[in-house]
Amino acid sequence: MIKKLCSIGITLLLMVVLTGCGDEVDPEEQYQADQLIQGLGATAMMTNVNAYSGYSSDGPGLATPPFGWSGPFVYDIPEGTDTLYYEFFWKPPLDSMGTIIDTLMWLAMPEPDVWGGNTMPWTELDTWIIGQTRSQIYFHTVFSIVDTISVNGTLKWNWEDTYYEYAFDVMQDPTDYTADIDITTSANIGLSAQFRINADGSGLEVDNYARWNNITFVRYEFFVRGSQDYDGYYTLLSEGWNVRHYFNLIVREEA
């Protein structure tokens, strides 16, 4: 599941630069609108609450930390107080010459601490990928299994003063699901977005949009979901909200 979380975070690394609201479509505006809808192709993987059922019912797959992991140890993390985490270290090369400029740490703590002897199924995971010396560069994910039908969490990619943060809250109802998704970024990017998807896959323009420096530049309308895809349209500020751009978003869930 963490692989899915990382893919979502990477997909949402967007840069928005809007150049005005003329009579013709702004190419950059349309590009970012398309990128957001493609990003939902990855976020849709989050909306399968059943994917978390193994964590909430069958318990963890490992009773002790995997090979190469140790801990727990106290870490002074960038956001919050000193916290206990299990750790794993590796030194990825920066280029083809094998240059290494930092050691990456993968920190993880399940709740409850099943690796510390608690055999109950865990319902929450807090994990970091962070530089040992450059601690302001990190990828942080948290997700909680609220109950058998609900999952929520956050992802944050941070590079010094620049960040992208993604929050999700998913509830199955009862064979399908609703999803609340919020995207925020640092002030030097100025991007935010909100998606509210109903159990049947639909969503209204008033609830699905993106903003740049608090100016709404794209609105999305989702139709009732088909068997394997989402579709709908979006409109743009630069076109005076007068042109509907149709999209078809195919979602392929992992077996």
Residue 144 has phi, psi (to 5 degrees) of -125, 140
Residue 81 carries which DSSP code?
S
SS3 55: helix
H helices of the chain, where?
A: 2-11, 27-43, 53
The total number of structural domains that make up the chain: 1
How does DSSP classify residue 203? B
Evaluate whether residue 113 is within a structural domain. yes
Which pLDDT score is estimated for 115?
77
d(CA 104, CA 89): 6
Over the chain (255 residues), what is each successive 10-residue block's mean pLDDT? 34 28 59 72 55 48 66 82 80 70 83 76 82 84 78 85 86 71 89 88 92 92 78 91 86 54
Q: What is the pLDDT of residue 218?
A: 93
Instruction: Flag whether 247 is in a domain.
Output: no
Domain annotation covers residue 78: yes
CB 165 within 8 A of CB 155: yes
Nearest to 218 by CA among 197, 200, 191, 198: 191
| Residue 200 domain flag | yes
Cβ-based neighbours of 99, under 8 Å, separated by 6 or more: 93
pTM: 0.71
Domain range for 166 is 2-16+30-212+224-232
User: Is the bond preceding residue 66 a cis peptide, omega within 30 degrees?
Assistant: no
Domain assignment present for 118: yes
Region of 63 (left: φ > 0; alpha: ψ -120 to 50; beta: rest) is: alpha
Q: Does 164 map to a domain?
A: yes
Q: Is 164 helix (H, G, I), strand (E, B) or coil?
A: strand
143, part of any domain: yes
Is 83 contained in some domain? yes
Amino acid identity, position 249? L
Tell me, what's the pLDDT at 61? 47
Of the candidates 106, 122, 126, which has an alpha carbon nearest to the alpha carbon of residue 114? 122
Q: How far apart are the C-alpha atoms of 206 and 34, rounded to whole Å?
A: 18
